[in-house]
Amino acid sequence: MSAPAAAPRLRDVLSSPKMLAILVLGAASGFPNQITESALQAWMKDSGASNTTIGVMSYVALPYLLKFLWAPFIDRFPLPFLGRRRGWMLLMQLALAATIGLFALQNPSVSLLPITLCATAIVFFSATQDIAFDAYRTDVSLPPERGLAAAATNLGYRSAAWLASACALLVADHFGWRLAFLILAGVMLLFCVATVRAPSSHNSYQPRSLRESVVEPLRELLGSPSAATLLLVVLLFKAGDAFANRLFTPFMMDVGFTKTEIAVIAKGLFTVSALTGSVLGGVLMVRLGLLRSMLVFGVLQALSNLLYCVLAVSGKSYPIMVAAVVIEHVAGAMGGIALVALIMALCDARYSAFQYALLSALALLPRYSLGGPAGWIADHRGWYVYFVVSFMLALPGLTIVWLKRRQIDALDHRAALA
């Protein structure tokens, strides 16, 4: 998902049926995300699962990393209804509603196997919906509309992800997890209306060969002498931030906050701060450029993780929690803007869809691969050490950015001239 360079104006979004469709479909894309993260973690915590088990369960999200493997299949074989993109979106939304509803029939205290299978299916269907939606947004957006389309996507995605998490935690806290998952399934089903009513992409192109769609983009991406090191920057730049947020909900529950407090206060601050950081990062990047933004934002996001150490030592404290969540998520979103800009600079315009999917999967690898170690450190070394480790994990990426500053600066100038 690409972050916006500037805040979307609500009147501009709502004045265009196409942009309104992108906004709502972006929400459909973001809605399932926190169901298999925050909601699942809280559900397992309530059932008595250890942080290690919760961390290992986070690996069900791996299909988000691997979606580039079956993206050519989605591109090559359109469904016989609603056009090339919306047909796949509709099918995945129906599958998501059914699978989220199946959660209501499970009990993590009895067996984790059906829950694991169900969660993996949700992530697979969600990742496939993302493939179709990203392609749809690219197809329908004219060059002058791409910034607003990215902004609308980010606004819809983050807002819906927060809504799903908050709804799950609030309903579960007062009425139980079964009703929470049934409500989430119903909301997912409503997104089908937006998909059916969205404007058609009118895209009938299909790749002519495997070489055209896969081999040539890879050859172009990996062809430069500094390619391997720059790919390492993509991998490591957000590693510390990803680690710090991997077990956010269990950490808040261990500190002493209730699920309602997490849903209303922490998750609300999480979302507003991330949106604010995205806008602020985009504005500052215009003045700072790519290299300075990566250095400044990278340092800020690394240092901000240490604020959770203070919360881990102090225990439940609203002022410290608010300060930690707001500062860390503003800084983290700014770092995300810089990373997205680097990925865009690395892409060739001829192959940007496949290359961006591949590079974004690489950037997300720490987020979806560190759950096991994160849970083990939280259980065996405590939360203070956990967040010190998150700070240390941010240092290698920053170091490589500094060592490769000339190459990154050159990429920025190349992108400006393109």
* Amino acid in the structure at residue 364: L
CB 194 within 8 A of CB 25: yes
pLDDT for position 104:
84
Task: Please name the CATH architecture into which domain 211-418 falls.
Answer: Up-down Bundle (1.20)
pLDDT for position 203:
55
CATH superfamily of 8-202: MFS general substrate transporter like domains (1.20.1250.20)
In which region does residue 228 sit, left (phi positive, over 0), alpha (psi from -120 to 50) or beta (all else)?
alpha
pLDDT for position 209:
64
pLDDT for position 133:
85
Mean pLDDT by 10 residues, the chain (418 residues): 44 66 88 84 80 79 81 75 84 94 82 84 91 77 56 77 84 85 91 86 60 73 76 88 84 83 74 79 75 90 91 87 89 84 68 70 80 83 90 91 84 55
pLDDT for position 174:
83
Rounded CA separation 280/268 (Å)? 18
**Structure pTM?**
0.67
pLDDT for position 295:
92
pLDDT for position 364:
81
pLDDT for position 350:
54
C-alpha torsion sign, points 392, 161, 142, 279: negative
Q: Which of 207, 206, 212, 191 is nearest to 84 (CA)?
A: 206
Residue 262 structure tokens: 């997490």
Cβ-Cβ contacts under 8 Å for 359 (sequence gap 6 or more): 221, 231, 234, 343, 346, 347
Question: What's the Cα-to-Cα distance from 121 to each of 2, 34, 181, rounded to whole Å?
Answer: 25, 14, 15
330 CA to centre of own chain:
15
SS3 content of the chain, % helix, strand, coil (to 5): 85, 0, 15
Structural domain spans, the chain? 8-202, 211-418
CB 97 within 8 A of CB 181: no
Do the domains spanning 8-202 and 211-418 agree at the CATH topology level?
A: yes
Give 274-303 as a DSSP string.
HHHHHHHHHHHHHHHHHHHHHHHHHHHHHH
pLDDT for position 391:
92
**CB atoms inside a 10 Å sphere around CB 82:** 18
Name the DSSP letter for residue 61: G
pLDDT for position 213:
67
